[in-house]
Structure 1
Amino acid sequence: MSAWLLSLCLHEFGHAWVAWKGGDDAILETGYLTLDPRHYIDPMFSVVMPMIFLMIGGIGFPGGSVLINRARLRSRAWQSAMSAAGPAMNGLFLIALMAFYQLCSEEAEGLRLAIAAAAFVQCTALVLNLLPIPGLDGYGILQPWLPDTVQAIGGKIAVYSGVILVGLFLVSSSFGQALSRAGFAMAIAAGFEHSDIVFGCHAMRLW
């Protein structure tokens, strides 16, 4: 749980840091570069909802929301880089978990389960965040290169992205199952044992 909260902060730190480097100097005044989730503009969807989704279903629900002025960024490439920086931080965090997992002895079973579960959550977060849905980073990477009319429509949809995702999880069981399968495949490809992921996720859930 603590690993997931840390990764939420690192994810948003990545967005903020690249935005700052890309020209949004106002980031320095917001506190977004301090890894402090209390500065996020929407605490409910930034921290509370992702933690609840993690406890209920073991899914890396997108969290954290920092206020970035895209108009201040120097180019469309910087805008795309800013959106990509969040998932990139999840990827770096996953690499760190891979290293800890390999260094962890077979006797430390509980620790191995915790690391494997944390890695699975990072994998699901990566897959989910990179979907080209308005409000998610996958769409944010593409957004600067889309026609203005498409961006205008996407901006209206992005306001309800959290509600749309919750609805997809609640209404369509296949959506959550597909996300879990993709997360499992990625975690196994990264070197984590299937049994460690399964037992780790069961231990993490509320029931």
Structure 2
Amino acid sequence: MGHQGSRSERRISSVFLGIVAVMAVTGWAVWTQYATSTGLAVFLFVTSAWIVSLCLHEYAHARTALHSGDLSVGAKGYLTLNPLKYTHALLSIVLPVLFVIMGGLGLPGGAVYIERGRIQGRWKHSFISAAGPLTNVAFAVVCTAPFWLDALDGVPTAFRYALAFLALLQVSAAILNFLPVPGLDGYGIIEPWLSYGVRRQVEPLAPFGLIAVFALLWIPEVNVFFFDVVYDVLSALGVENRESGCGYALYRFWQDTGVACAVPSN
């Protein structure tokens, strides 16, 4: 009976499979230029792919927690990849999607609830926190593979731009997540190594960490510096600023972003 329970706890949810299906169909529509509106197809493709990456991010936290000793993650539904099972669906899915739509920024979301008391060992705690943003790193590497492998021959222009913008979201999410700010994964990585007194002092600040980072990004100088770092990483992965910029312009199909991008029509 317990074995059946554990299997059902790990069965991939139909909600996640539905999102993957949307990503596949809209990705095909962008590739073939089947859709009447390339911009709408890019919007749906990038948004669904972004949600898939958010689900994988949270799954990575949960899966490493499971193997580290927190068996409760299965019963919470975290291993099904269902975004509706997260502790804060608003923080985990809705807000990150809104930030992408509003500002082309891969802002990290809320997290799954890990019962840390069940887990012994500092390294395990650090790795659980690191697993999420490492998923974004892996996603960025996959998205940029055609660029750094110099394998763009035959890749349609619109699809290339969409991949470039999706890579920008993954890189920005990874960088933000690795910041050692309370409430973000970067702080979770170093927290086990801090003294009890420091952790007690910092704990009340955790709910405000993400808000503070977002507020800082509104400061023009900070925003420019942050995106310079993001673009430097993308450049190292073979993605030009213009390509991710054109991806963002296509994504915001309802607005003239002022970026001139030639996408061949069908």
TM-score > 0.5, shorter chain as reference: yes
The answer on 1:180 being equivalent to 2:239 is no
Q: Distance in 1 between matches of 2:104 and 2:189?
A: 26
Identity %: 36
CA distance in structure 2 between the partners assigned to 1:128 and 1:204 by the alignment: 22
Note the 1:47-62 alignment, pairs <5 A: 47-62=93-108
Aligned residue in 2 for 1:92 = 138
State the distance in 2 between where 1:64 and 1:146 align.
22
1:157 matched to 2:217: no
Shift, 1:48, TM fit: 1.2
SS of structure 1 residue aligned to 2:106: coil
Distance 1:106 1:175, change over 3 A: farther
> Residues 111-149 of structure 1, C-alpha deviation per residue, up to 9 Å, x if partnerless?
000000000111111111111100011111000000111
Q: Which has the higher contact order (CA 8 A, sep 6+)?
A: 1
Cα shift at 1:154:
2.0
TM-score, structure 1 as length reference: 0.93
Q: Render the CA deviation track for 1:155-189: whole Å, top value 9, x for unaligned.
A: 1111222322332234x222222221111111110
Instruction: Select which of 50, 55, 58 maps to 1:4.
Output: 50
1:69 paired with 2:115, answer yes
The secondary structure found in structure 2 opposite 1:160 is helix
What is the alpha-carbon distance in structure 2 between the residues aligned to residue 185 and residue 156 of structure 1?
34
What secondary structure does 2:71 align onto?
A: coil
Structure 1 position 167 matched with structure 2 position 212: no
User: Which stretch of the first structure deviates more once superposed, 127-136 or 106-115?
Assistant: 106-115
1:133 maps to 181
Aligned amino acid, residue 80 of structure 1: S
Give the distance between the partners of 2:118 and 2:178, measured in 1 at CA: 23
Whose radius of gyration is greater, 1 or 2? Answer: 2
Cα distance in 2, alignment partners of residues 177 and 161 from structure 1: 20
- 2: CA distance, partners of 1:34 / 1:75: 26
Task: Give the corresponding residue for 2:159.
Answer: 111
Aligned to 1:196: 243
Q: Deviations over 1:177-206 (max 9, x none)?
A: 222111111111011123211211222236
Q: Distance in 1 between the 2:225 and 2:82 partners?
A: 32
* 1:7-18 matched pairs, under 5 angstroms: 7-18=53-64
Structure 1 unmatched runs, 5+: none
RMSD between aligned residues: 1.6
Determine the C-alpha separation between the residues in 2 that align with 1:24 and 1:202. 43
Is this contact kept in 2: 1:121–1:183, CA < 8 A? no
Q: How many residues of Structure 1 are paired with residues of Structure 2 in the alignment?
A: 206
Helix, strand or coil for the counterpart of 1:159? helix
Task: Tell me how far 1:81 sits from its aligned partner.
Answer: 0.3
Partner-residue secondary structure (3-state), 2:111: coil
